[in-house]
Structure 1
């Protein structure tokens, strides 16, 4: 009991001394933020930009600003007609003139021995759309041009393996980077060894 009264007395003296000298008692420190109460709704966050659900993702655009896609095709009695389309996926206009340079690769990406000619002469006399005079084609971003192809799937020599191109490599214009496309339908040349191509033609959007 004596010890308790002594402590209380000391505290009272200290408080009295504070009143005599006019010192204010410092305010208590601000409470540190604590966890949210259980069940409290979280604070709203600023919306973050991003693709909406189900929106298509943009396709990669190659270095040259263009990419290839496979067009339509037709076949009758061994005669094949197809087209390869070039899309301007860049931000600047893309100008084409004349014929592209075309190479074929097989499934193992080895070059296919084929002679590429302009037009369908020597392959067919039927109209296929690969003939015509070359003209300058300017593609605005998002526009496309097509190059027609014609060949025959014939085996005239059973001692020569039939050739099939499953990858097409295209140099769209002189000095441009080469672009390639894996085909869903092969260029099945048999052993004719000849592929006719047309000039670049603009496609309607």
Structure 2
């Protein structure tokens, strides 16, 4: 009975010294473990231009660039949300159409070849009447249905209006 109690200790000791061969066990090597994964860049990349101002109105041009090796077809308006400094969406109404800064060409299909660009104008009023003012730090933009939302830094001083206007994608800005 006493030998069976000591048996597990003997087995562990033999394993620890390389099963009694007299040589130390070979070191165990593992492939390095990475805590970050590589995320491929999006095929369609959105950027925002500087904020233009005039008579209490503001606007910025969103530029959509096809960084893919293949063409992409788009039609319509980007989906735009105003985000606070933590990335949380603000309660802002989004309208499609004309604004103080830009007419709206309306939705039409585009086939965007590699490295080609499309534009959309996001505009708002900084009017302050009564109530709390709203200021965004970024916009969340979905270029087309099925695409991932991209966060782009863009300060939006919406005053108390709580509204933005977005035009459809277009090749060039109206003159």
Q: Same fold (TM over 0.5)?
A: yes
Q: TM-score, normalised by structure 2?
A: 0.70
State the alpha-carbon separation in 2 of the partners of residues 172 and 197 from structure 1: 12
Distance 1:192 1:87, change over 3 A: same
Determine the structure 2 residue equivalent to 1:75: 53
The answer to whether the 8 A contact 2:46-2:143 is kept is no
Q: TM-score, normalised by structure 1?
A: 0.60
Counterpart among 175, 181, 192 of residue 161 in structure 2: 192
State the alpha-carbon separation in 1 of the partners of residues 94 and 66 from structure 2: 24
Determine the structure 1 residue equivalent to 2:126: 153
1:8-27 matches, within 5 Å, as none
Structure 2 unaligned blocks of 5 or more: 1-38
Distance 1:66 1:79, change over 3 A: same
Instruction: Give the superposition deviation at 1:133.
Output: 2.1
Structure 1 unaligned blocks of 5 or more: 1-59
Q: Secondary structure at the match of 2:127?
A: coil
The answer to whether the 8 A contact 1:130-1:197 is kept is no
State the alpha-carbon separation in 2 of the partners of residues 198 and 173 from structure 1: 14
Instruction: Give the superposition deviation at 1:106.
Output: 0.9
Q: Which runs of 4+ in 1 moved over 6 A?
A: none
Kindly indicate whether residue 145 of structure 2 is the aligned counterpart of residue 166 of structure 1. Answer: no
State the alpha-carbon separation in 1 of the partners of residues 60 and 40 from structure 2: 24
The structure with more radius of gyration: 1
Instruction: Give the superposition deviation at 1:171.
Output: 1.2
The answer to whether the 8 A contact 1:151-1:194 is kept is yes
